[in-house]
Structure 1
Amino acid sequence: MKLDILVFGAHPDDAELGAGATIAKEISLGKKVGIIDLTRGELGTRGTAEIRDKEAADAAKILGVAVRENLEFADGFFVNDKDHQLAVIKMIRKYQPEIILCNAIDDRHIDHGKGASLVSDAAFLSGLVKIETKLYGSKEYQTPWRPKLIYHYIQWKNLVPDFVVDVTGFMDKKNEAIRAYASQFYDPNSDEPETPISSSNFIESVTYRARDLGRLIGVEHAEGFTVERFVAVESLDSLI
């Protein structure tokens, strides 16, 4: 299956928190979008990997993504090396996306920056013809593929975006997908330990960040991204 956009996240819920409204908007425009989670988030303080597997599947259904897979890298301990790069390359070649969205290049959680570098490096290597890969159980070598664009969504830190996407009308869908991760976020009746993302302030911050970015471009809500190369436009009036 060829996808238009492939979204990578170090953990289940990264894609929803960082780019959930953009994903929902692109799907509404007819784009085929998939999500690849690098880990199962098994080191998370709250819940279990099994619970997050189900939550991720529920969130994917809410967003309407075409596919969601988990590479089952070691949460907290995966590295940007050959074996991990080849696993990511196989996913890129399998789905042949034009655009990749992935973790913030600098963030509070060490997996986010590692995930960003790993996916970016793998995306480049995926285009090299002398790197040969096969999917598990297949006898056929994959076709080399390099996406046209890589964008990094913004997570815990308030990084200055290089561009923002007008996601007005899609925040309800994003928030519904985030709420699918009930074990992770604010629940006044939970007996689980408090974490930086389990407070009511954190979950509210997702919306007020989108409102603030929207305010800055004159719309209701927006999501921000950083880039690895200049953003190009067809003409001056192609900007909002």
Structure 2
Amino acid sequence: MKLDILVFGAHPDDAELGAGGTIAKEVARGKKVGIIDLTRGELGTRGTAEIRDEEAAKAAEILGVAVRENMQFADGFFVNDKNHQMEIIKMVRKYRPEVVLCNAVDDRHIDHAKGSQLVSDACFLSGLVKIDTKMDGDDQWQQPWRPRVVYHFIQWKNLEPDFVMDVSGFIEKKTEAILAYSSQFFDPNSDEPETPISSKNFIDSVTYRARDMGRLVGVEHAEGFNVERFVAIDNLDALL
């Protein structure tokens, strides 16, 4: 299956938190979007990996993505080396996306920056013809493929975006997808330990940030991204 957009997140819920509005909007536009989680979030303080699997599936259904897979890398301990890069290359060549979205270039959680660089490096390497890959159980060699662009969504830290995506009308869908991870986020009846993302203030902050980014560009809600190369436009009317 060829996808238009492939979203990588170090943990289940990263894609929803960083780019949930963008994903929902692109799906509504008829784009084929997929999500690949690098880990199962097994080191998370609240819940279990099995619960996160169920929550990720529910969130994917809410967003309407075409596919969601999990690489099952070690939460907290995966590294940006050849073995991990080769596994990401296989996914990029399998789905041949035009656009890749991935973790923030710098963030509070160490996996976010690691995942960001790992995916970026693998996307470049995926275009090299002398790197040979096969999917497990397949006897066919994969063809090289390099995404047209790689964009990094903004997460915990308030990084300065290179561009923002108007997601007005999709913030409710984003919030619904985030709250599918009921083990992770605000639940007044939960007896699980408190974490930096389990407060009501954190959930509210997701909407506040989207509203503030939208305010700065004259729309209701927006999500911010960082780029790896200049953003080019076809004409001045392409700007909001």
1:209 is matched with: 209
Q: Give the AA of the match of 2:238.
A: S
2:48 is matched with: 48
Distance 2:63 2:117 in 1: 26
Distance 1:122 1:8 in 2: 12
Distance 2:231 2:147 in 1: 15
Listed one character per residue, the Cα deviations across residues 6-48 of structure 1 (whole Å, up to 9, x for unaligned) are: 0000000000000000000000001000000000000000000
Displacement of 1:236 in angstroms is 1.6
Distance 1:238 1:38 in 2: 34
Q: Give the AA of the match of 1:115.
A: G
Q: Report the TM-score when normalising by structure 1.
A: 1.00
Show structure 1 runs of 5+ residues with no match. none
2:90 is matched with: 90
Listed one character per residue, the Cα deviations across residues 87-111 of structure 1 (whole Å, up to 9, x for unaligned) are: 0000000000000000000000000
Secondary structure of 2:87 counterpart: helix
1:71 is matched with: 71
Listed one character per residue, the Cα deviations across residues 174-216 of structure 1 (whole Å, up to 9, x for unaligned) are: 0000010000001111100000000111010000000000000
Does 2:1 align with 1:27? no
1:173 is matched with: 173
Distance 1:216 1:70 in 2: 35
Q: Give the AA of the match of 1:203.
A: I
Secondary structure of 1:174 counterpart: helix
Number of equivalences: 240
Displacement of 1:238 in angstroms is 1.1
Does 2:146 align with 1:146? yes
Does 2:122 align with 1:122? yes
Give the CA RMSD over aligned residues: 0.4
Distance 1:30 1:200 in 2: 33
Q: Give the AA of the match of 1:232.
A: A
Q: Report the TM-score when normalising by structure 2.
A: 1.00
Show structure 2 runs of 5+ residues with no match. none
Q: Give the AA of the match of 1:136.
A: D
Q: Give the AA of the match of 1:29.
A: R
1:221 is matched with: 221
Distance 1:230 1:160 in 2: 15
Distance 2:237 2:41 in 1: 43
Distance 2:54 2:189 in 1: 21
1:105 is matched with: 105
Secondary structure of 2:173 counterpart: helix
Listed one character per residue, the Cα deviations across residues 40-62 of structure 1 (whole Å, up to 9, x for unaligned) are: 00000000000000000000000
Q: Give the AA of the match of 1:67.
A: V
Distance 2:74 2:108 in 1: 18
Does 2:192 align with 1:192? yes
Displacement of 1:235 in angstroms is 1.3
Distance 1:195 1:229 in 2: 35
Secondary structure of 2:23 counterpart: helix
Distance 1:216 1:68 in 2: 33
More displaced, 36-45 or 227-236?
227-236
Distance 2:108 2:152 in 1: 15
Runs of 4+ aligned structure 1 residues displaced above 6 Å come to none
2:162 is matched with: 162
1:232 is matched with: 232
Q: Give the AA of the match of 2:48.
A: T
- Percent of aligned positions that are identical: 78
